[in-house]
Amino acid sequence: MDKKPVHVTTEKVREVTYDTLLSFGVDKEMAARAAKTLNTADRRGIDTHGIARARFYDRAIRNGEINLKPNVKVVKETPVSALVDCDGGIGVATADIVMDKAMELAKKNGIGMAVAINGHHFGAAAHYTIKASEENLIGMSASPSLLITCPIGGTQKLLGNSPNSVAFPAGHKTPCMMLDMASTTVAGGKIEMCIRAGKQMPEGWGLDKNGNPTTNPLDVFDRDIQFVGSMTPMAGPKGYCLIVMFELLSGLLPGAATGLKVVGSGGGLGYFMMAIDPTIIRPLDELKADLDEYFLTIKNSPKREGVEEIFLPGEIEHKITADRAANGYDLNPAVADEVLELAIQYGRVPKDTTVYELFDVK
Ligand SMILES: NC(=O)c1ccc[n+]([C@@H]2O[C@H](COP(=O)([O-])OP(=O)(O)OC[C@H]3O[C@@H](n4cnc5c(N)ncnc54)[C@H](O)[C@@H]3O)[C@@H](O)[C@H]2O)c1
């Protein structure tokens, strides 16, 4: 008999994420920020980068890659820039602090760029740009990632997949247009989801350890989610070039680790965060009116046969956010089991607890 779905609220998922991080030893302030970042992904339907990452951070902490009580500090500052030392703290919290700094500078001086050293895996790039967008700033974020990509024509993994995001403020009546993506064909988390589901992955996502195309996700990751193969850059050489250029901005510019200097699953990574106040160019009202017109012109343009709807960047996630906030959603059952296992392992709940009890499923 099929198990009942684990139908959750996004708020309960945030609470469980927070408790899970606390049980790993992450301090309260960092855990609260980290849980919020991860929950942005879960609220928006980016199920690969929310609570599903609990096991990944647990392993990184046990490997000693993450400082549980970091002293995050600005080491150099100008009116429009800051260099932040994240002291090895959990990336989904420290990157949030770095974006806050970029936004503070943008509000004071029109433009703020904050880059960082000693970061770690920063999760979904969208979390940081949405924060800026919600305050009527244009946001940009990028980070290298753990080593998962080979240079075009090469066989050695020397590159990450440069997750990056750009978001504009919302229009008067249209949602924020926002790009959030890995610079590989897909995010590694999507391959991980294929392993959880026991499915093959589509052609073109990954290469085996000899650099040959494969549809078996276990040729890319082993069962412990360690990379054995590699991922393909999106759009061939263009994706590869994007990966490199974002590594320069978010890794080389601040002086953070890239390539073989990255420790484990992200130790020493850098971040690039930028916020721009559009009113340094023209009035916000005018820009918002043009954003509406731009959005609606594309939205209502002629569709190819068989296509029901044209979407703008970020629109699908915007709709999912509204739906999940109103109705909750079914948590991936494999992810729910992993989170329960961790809760039992860290002694947070009795051994006979069910996922339904852990997530308050009625
Ligand atoms: N921290 C890390 O190391 C890391 C690495 C890679 C990716 N990530 C994260 O993984 C997540 C998933 O990345 P991805 O590349 O698989 O994303 P994706 O392919 O699901 O989406 C990429 C972009 O395309 C847009 N989009 C998708 N379908 C669309 C359509 N039909 N019409 C219009 N726009 C559409 C989305 O709004 C999004 O902005 C992102 O949140 C990314 O930041 C993190």
In a domain? residue 68: yes
% pLDDT > 90, the chain: 93
Tell me: the pLDDT tens digits for 280-330? 999 999 999 999 999 999 999 999 999 999 999 999 999 999 999 999 999
Tell me: the pLDDT tens digits for 10-69? 999 999 999 999 999 999 999 999 999 999 999 999 999 999 999 999 999 999 999 999
At 124 the pLDDT is 98
The domain spanning residue 272 has which CATH number? 3.30.1370.60
CA 249 to mean position of chain CA atoms: 17
In a domain? residue 167: yes
pLDDT of residue 85 exceeding 70? yes
In the chain, the number of structural domains is 1
Neighbours of 191 (CB within 10 A): 25
Pairing of strands 81-85, 111-119: parallel
In a domain? residue 66: yes
The closest alpha carbon to 276, from 265, 287, 292, belongs to 287
At 224 the pLDDT is 76
Test site for ligand 1: of 147, 181, 320, most ligand atoms within 8 A of the Cβ:
181
What's the first-to-final CA gap in the chain, in angstroms?
Answer: 19
Contact (CB, 8 A) for 113 and 104 = no
Neighbours of 74 (CB within 10 A): 14
**Protein residue whose Cα sits closest to atom 21 of ligand 1:** 181
Nearest-angstrom CA–CA distance, 263 and 211: 23
Average pLDDT, the chain: 96
- Give residue 42 CA to ligand 1 midpoint distance, Å: 13
In a domain? residue 135: yes
Q: Which atom of ligand 1 is nearest to the CA of 122?
A: 1
In a domain? residue 210: no
At 226 the pLDDT is 80
Nearest-angstrom CA–CA distance, 322 and 231: 32
Biggest alpha carbon distance in the chain?
62
Q: What is the 3-state secondary structure (H, E, C) of the chain?
A: CCCCCEEECHHHHHHHHHHHHHHCCCCHHHHHHHHHHHHHHHHHCCHHHCHHHHHHHHHHHHCCCCCCCCCCEEEEEECCEEEEECCCCCHHHHHHHHHHHHHHHHHHHCEEEEEEEEECCCCCCHHHHHHHHHCCCEEEEECCCCCCECCCCCCCCCECCCCEEEECCCCCCCCCCEEEECCECCCHHHHHHHHHHCCCCCCCCEECCCCCEECCHHHCECCCCCECCEECECCCHHHHHHHHHHHHHHHHCCCCCCHHHCECCCECEEEEEEEECHHHCCCHHHHHHHHHHHHHHHHCCCCCCCCCCCCCCCHHHHHHHHHHHHHCEEECHHHHHHHHHHHHHCCCCCCCCCHHHHCCCC
Pocket of ligand 1 (CB under 6 A): 46, 48-49, 121-126, 145, 161, 163, 179-182, 186-187, 189-190, 311, 313-314, 316-317
At 4 the pLDDT is 87
Tell me: the pLDDT tens digits for 255-272? 999 999 999 999 999 999
In a domain? residue 299: no
Contact (CB, 8 A) for 162 and 143 = yes
In a domain? residue 198: no
At 250 the pLDDT is 98
At 2 the pLDDT is 60
Contact (CB, 8 A) for 74 and 101 = yes
Test site for ligand 1: of 159, 180, 205, 301, most ligand atoms within 8 A of the Cβ:
180
Owning domain of residue 326: 6-184+233-282+322-358
In a domain? residue 327: yes
**Protein residue whose Cα sits closest to atom 18 of ligand 1:** 181
